[in-house]
Structure 1
Amino acid sequence: MIAEPGDGERDVNVNETFHEQIDDELSEKELKQIEADDQAIQTILLGLPE
């Protein structure tokens, strides 16, 4: 179900394993993907005309 704006009292079902992930909890795979994304962004920006 999609919550409507202002529907602050609606219960939200969350899996028991869900928790807020912090930088220390990023997996090695996620870190490598972030680095690859950063490199791709830098390559794109360097190729843009000034």
Structure 2
Amino acid sequence: PEPGDPNREVPVNETFHVQTDDELTENELKQLEADDQAIQTILLGLPEDIYAVVDSCETAQEIWLRVQ
């Protein structure tokens, strides 16, 4: 598949239990915040057509793998 292909398979670790902030360590909370910032940075630099493809991604890694 080509970069930006919405059908491109992206391996992402699945989470079966969504943790609350109270269940996360300080380092995990910092990682989540850093990931949120990375997502925003990546999304700001994408053309609109590619943005539409990755808008539903949940992690910066997932977005990055799709647009490579």
Matches of 2:25 and 2:18 in 1, distance apart? 10
Q: Which residue matches 1:13?
A: none
Paired residues for 1:8-19 under 5 Å? none
Secondary structure of the corresponding residue to residue 22 of structure 1 = coil
2:19 pairs with one of 22, 34, 38: 22
TM-score by length of 2: 0.40
Q: Which residue matches 1:46?
A: 44
Aligned Cα root-mean-square deviation (Å)? 1.8
Deviation, structure 1 residue 40: 0.3
TM-score by length of 1: 0.53
CA deviation digits over 1:4-49, x for unaligned, max 9?
xxxxxxxxxxxxxxxx673111000000000000100110001001
Size of the alignment, in residue pairs?
Answer: 31
Amino acid at match of 1:46: L
Matches of 1:47 and 1:21 in 2, distance apart? 29
| Higher helix content, 1 or 2 | 2
4+ residue stretches of structure 1 with deviation over 6 A?
none
Q: Which of the pair has more CA radius of gyration?
A: 1
